[in-house]
Every structure is written in C-alpha cells, then in structure tokens.
Amino acid sequence: MTNPKLRQEIAEGPALANEPYTFDVCAEKLKVGVLTFSSSTECSFSYDENWTRCGFDISPYIRVDGPIEDRDVTRFIRNLLPEGTGLRCLISTFNVSRLSILEILNHVQVESAGILHFEARESHSAPSRELTNQMLFGRLDTFSNVVIWDNCFRLNVAGVQKKLNIHQKNDGSFWLANKELPSTHIIKFAEEEHSTIILNELLCMRLAKAIGLEVATVELLRVFDSHGKAKHSAISIERFDREALSNGTVHKRHIIDACQALNLPPEHKYEQIFGRHPDVAHCRDGARLKALFAFARQQNFSHQNVMQMLSWVVFNLIVGNSDAHGKNISFFIDTTGISLAPFYDIVSIVFEARRIKNLDTDLAMAIGDEFDSGSITAFHLLSFAEEVEVTPTQLLTVVEQVALDCKRFATPVLCTDELMSKAELEALGQLIQLINQRADHFLRQTSLFDEVQKALL
C-alpha cells in the first residue's frame, strides 16, 4: 500500500531534496543495506556492515567490496519495477508519475523478484485475502484490472503481460501475496486480442521441459462462472525464486535478469533499442546474445549452463519465440556465485502473428546479424556460433537434437492433463504444425553447414 507521508513529501518537492527518502533493503529477515533517494528518479545504495561480512553481491555491478555507482543502482531498481498493463494501471489508479522510481517502488516494496524487499519508514502492509474463483471471475468478466485489491497494488514483478502474483497454500487455495504470504506463483491472463496465448505458452513451456530444458512449472487454470462453466483461462507459473516449505513458510532465492546482469536499463531489453525503422535500426546498444554468452563465461558458468543457454536460443527459434529479450532470461546469485536460472515466458510469437495483424515477429536479439525470425539461414547460424564462441559442430549438434526432439515431443499429449475444447485442440494442432515446419527448416540449414563453411573459406 502506498505511504501517504511519502506522497506528501514528493508533492512538496523541497522536503525530499532536504531530507533524502530511504528504504531498508532486506533479504528475508536480514538487512542487506539502505537505498537512498536524493530525488524521485535517482537513488544510491550502501551495504549493511553485517551483509558485507556474510552476504553476496546483489548484482555484478553493486559489489560488497567495491565502489557503487548511483547510475548502476538506479538501473538495477528500475529493472525490478512493473511494466506494461500493470504499470499503466498503477499510474492511472494512484496518480503516480511514470518517471518516479520512488513512487512506483513504494507500491511494490513488499516483494520484488528474487530475495529482496524494501521497508520504508512507515510501511503499510496489504491485508491478507483469499483469491476466490468468484472474485477473479468478477474482475475478468467485466474487463477490470486484476492488480488492485483493497486499494493496494498487488503486482510485484516486471513484464508487460497482464498478470498477478499470488501465494498458493498447501491446500491449493490462492491468496493475494503480501509480506506475511510471499508469492509462490504468477498467474498470467490473456488479453482479449490474444485468446490463444495461454495455450501457446502452456505447450511451449511443457515442450521445452520435455526436450530437457530447465523451465518453470506451468499449469492451466480455468475461471468459472456462477453456473460452473469455464469462461476464462489463465496460466499459473511456479516461481523458481521461491520454495514453499512444509511448514507453510516460503524461502526466497536471489535472481537478476539479463538487463541487470549486463547493467542495462529495462528499455534496453531489445538489442535494437529504438526499433527496426531504417533510420534507427543501427542503434543496437541493447541486450544481445554475444554479451550474454560473454557474461556466462566471465562468471565461469559450467559447460552444462552454457549449453542450456545455447539450447534455449535454438528452441526459441524453432517454436517462433521471437520475443526472447533481456528480461526473459535470469540468473541465480548467492555466496557461491552466479548460475543460470530456469527459463520462462516462452511463447510462439510467430504463431500469434498468424491471427494478429502487424504483430512484430522480429527477433529481440539478432542471430548472425539477422532479426527476421523467418529468414535465419545456415550462414546466420554459423555467424552466431562465431559470435558466442561455440564451434560449428557444437551448434550443429544442439540444433539437430533440439529440432528432432521438438518433432518427437510436440504433441497434444503434453496438455492431456487438461480438459480441452475442440477449438483449443485445433489451436494446439496448428501450433504443433508450425513447430514441426520450423524444426524441418532448421534441420535443412544444418545440412548446409559444410557447404557454407567451404564457401566462406
């Protein structure tokens, strides 16, 4: 819940300038440090003395044993904040400035991605409330927002899709997350124009798991009307930065996304930071695969982790997930170092584009200098291999294995634990057909590797 005293201080302006506003930054019950705002858009951070002795870097650019730049802290915090539909709802409901990091953080302070939470001078915890089917149906059926409950903003994770983080108890009941009940799952809802996106993500995520990728666990949710008829669908994603213990408590793990790992602001999650228009397409200062793989090697990732990243890139190409940007891959951090976290948000944008006019299917991060998701050739794949320092043989092996496994496992059986309508089964069949076609395309491209390499030499 927003702090009314904070709103007054921001409105007055000089009060904030004369007396910086601070948050205690905590990891569960441990104090990590203090976040200080000198203005609503700029902040600094200092570690707590006890954390410097027994803790770890919360970011590669916010180190316990080195100088900390305010710019790096501000970027780190901005990457924790909501985007898209959730942010627009927060701004319109509470009259918050889109530019005010301080005001936005004040609404999401209790729980962010990873282990951290923020405690203000006067924290106001949101009340506990069970989220019933009837409550959720009422919101979805009237196209109301799903993130404002009890005059509190209940979304504490980044991302543009319509979503809500919830706490699932051992009895299966859903509760709106707060400080006492940290979220264990994220529920994502389909916008009206994206009616198939829930099934799309369900199949893609389960297919990824079937072929050996480490991914978040997903389940299909149905929201029923008063007559017991399923009217709305959603997907429940089990949070991999949370562990629900048998005693009902929740243990958190710290994670950062690729934008935080590469010290980029959230608007640089796409490699082409201003889009694909010819006048600005050359501006490629955003997240890119070359930098991601260099980061993995700099942090001494295991060979298995690097190969998982390579398989993730290839799988995204095959299923048509062109929106695999810098906030759609994350890393664990603890006292032992940095390692790859499970993958998430895998959706075939290419499939969605068949129904939605003008939906952008350009790749978030280029493959061998090519952004067109439908134009990747053997040459682009080999160029990509050179960029990320894997051998052509390694890439060929991964592409062939992922493509063949996709053709083998991409069947409606992946979703047979859910009761599907005829229309849903038809949509799944069309998506599977697309995946098979794209798998065949990339198998053809690998068969040309030797020919292309000889031509280049």
| DSSP-assigned states of every residue in 172-199 | S-EEE--SSS---EEEEE--TT-TTHHH
Q: For residues 45-60, give the mean pLDDT.
A: 96
pLDDT of residue 372: 95
Q: Is the Cβ–Cβ distance between 208 and 215 less than 8 Å? A: yes
Once rounded to an integer, what is the mean pLDDT over residues 236-241?
A: 95
pLDDT score, position 259: 98
Task: Of 237, 220, 430, 401, give the one whose Cα is nearest residue 320.
Answer: 430
pLDDT, tens only, 303-343: 999 999 999 999 999 999 999 999 999 999 999 999 999 99
What's the CATH class of domain 254-456?
mainly alpha
**Whole-model pTM?**
0.91
DSSP H helices, 253-320, are: 258-261, 289-298, 303-319
Three-state DSSP class for residue 84: helix
Exposure string (b/e) for 341-372, b if CB count within 10 Å is 16 or more?
A: bbbbbbbbbbbbbeeeeeeebbbbbbbbebbe
pLDDT reported for residue 147: 65
Distance between CA 370 and CA 389 in Å, rounded? 18
The pLDDT assigned to 150 comes to: 54
3-class secondary-structure state, position 291:
helix
pLDDT of residue 434: 98
As a whole number, the mean pLDDT across the chain is 87
Cα 32 from Cα 76, distance rounded (Å): 15
Residue type, 289: L
Provide the pLDDT for residue 144.
60
List, for residues 296-305, the tens digit of each pLDDT value.
999 999 999 9
Residue 57 predicted with pLDDT over 70: yes
Flag the least confident range among 164-173, 195-204, 325-334: 164-173
The pLDDT of residue 443 is 98
Considering only 107-121, 212-226, 391-405, 420-434, which range has the smallest mean pLDDT? 107-121
- Please give the average per-residue pLDDT across 271-298, as a whole number: 89
